[in-house]
A and B are shown apart, each in its own frame.
Chain A
Amino acid sequence: MAAEGGLTTSGYIIHHLTNLTFGHLPEGFHRHHADGAVEVVGQGGTWTIAHGNEAASMGFWAINLDSMLFSVGLGLVFIWLFRKAALKATSGVPGGLQNFVESIVEFVDENVKSSFHSRNAFIAPLALTVFVWIFLMNLMDLIPVDWVPFLAQQLGVPYLKIVPSTDVNVTMGMSLSVFALILYYSISVKGIGEFIGELTLQPLGKYMIPANLFLEGVNLLAKPVSLGLRLFGNMYAGEMIFILIALLPFWVQWVLSVPWAIFHILIITLQAFIFMVLTIVYMSMAHESH
């Protein structure tokens, strides 16, 4: 709170939950500046960074710069670290990094082997990427909430949300990618006829096709929605509680935020693990015919 000066409590929270959005404002849009001045966007609209709730008027082509920066950056960290371990891998005495990477790869491999029984060389790397990437994105939650945004504000960046998985666009993007893979493998492994048959001929038999289609359709569409919103909701709620703790007087902050952070270590790992397990299970369901 001290860092922000004269802001209200809810203003502080909303500021922390706003992404740095870049997008196109339409022609004739009224921009309200902090000093009370009103600027009308000229002909053809303008490409700019959103202030306040302007992001809602930007339409489809708005992009959250901070989410993209941190998620792609963390993806590159993951690739760099694992590649470094792979290049230096030795069959002799392994170093610390090699042990660490090997234990993660073996852990993911065991999980894939226990729930995926078809042959597909793509699933284990996919599971490893999903697990480590989501874990790294969730890990940003443990960085103190005011630290990076405050530094960015001193450098002139108005908003910064450093946890990409508290952005619903990122989590739904990942779950929709998994959904696309479900559809792709369902059609390419089982064939389009059997996939449609699976959607229409169970569970009530061939004379109840509309009811079957409704039940199976809900079942299919619930997968990406629940997958994405579960991760988003957990991370958003966790971040929210960190922000609320940061509003308290400084002498109680440690008492509350340290236990919550320790509990959060469990949650971030568990959510990354669940996303991975469900991805494997969905892939396995897409491969197995009845």
Chain B
Amino acid sequence: MEAALLYIAGALIMGLGATGAAIGIGILGGKFLEGGARQPELIPMLRTQFFIVMGLVDAIPMIGVGIGMYIMFVVAAGA
């Protein structure tokens, strides 16, 4: 029972984190393309900023994946 709850917890961490980041990076990429189509000469500058924000958004689901896998393969396997 406890192990099953741990697996569900890990799955929720990874799934919800991925949902949020997917929406965020989707909006971000769309705006980046819009900005690039409007003013192509700004693309190099926009790309730098795009990667900064993408790294900020990307960090949380990445951490979530790590913690989720830790819960599933170490905590749940040991319980």
Contacts and interface: CB of A to CB of B under 8 A. Distances in A.
A149 to B, nearest CB: 17
Interface in B43-60: 51-52, 54-56, 58-59
A179 interface: no
Contact of B69 (A9, A241, A270, A273): A241
Contact of A238 (B52, B64, B66, B74): B66
B65 A241 contact: yes
Contacts of A238: 62, 66
B62 A267 contact: yes
Given A271-B55, A273-B52, 18 more contacts: A8-B77, A9-B77, A13-B73, A13-B74, A230-B59, A233-B59, A233-B62, A233-B66, A234-B63, A237-B67, A238-B66, A240-B69, A241-B65, A270-B51, A271-B59, A273-B55, A274-B55, A274-B56
A274 B65 contact: no
Contacts, number: 57
A277 B49 CA distance: 10
A236 interface: yes
Contacts of B59: 230, 233-234, 271
A238 B63 CA distance: 9
B62 A240 contact: no
A10 B78 contact: yes
Contacts of B77: 8-10
A277 B52 contact: yes
Contacts of A267: 58, 62
A8 B77 CA distance: 10
Interface in A57-79: none
Interface string A263-290: 0000100110110010000000000000
B52 to A, nearest CB: 6
Contacts of B54: 270
B52 A9 contact: no
A152 interface: no
Contacts of B66: 233, 236-238, 240-241
Contacts of B74: 10, 13-14
Given A10-B78, A273-B55, A277-B52, A233 B73 contact: no
A236 B56 CA distance: 16
Contacts of A241: 65-66, 69
Nearest to A11: B78
A237 B74 CA distance: 13
A22 B58 CA distance: 35
Contacts of A237: 62-67, 69
Nearest to A275: B55
A238 B69 CA distance: 11
A244 interface: yes
Contact of A244 (B56, B62, B63, B73): B73
Nearest first, the 3 A-B pairs at minimum CB distance are A237-B66, A233-B63, A270-B55
A244 B69 contact: yes
A106 to B, nearest CB: 14
5 contacts: A9-B73, A230-B63, A233-B62, A233-B67, A277-B52
Contacts of A274: 52, 55-56
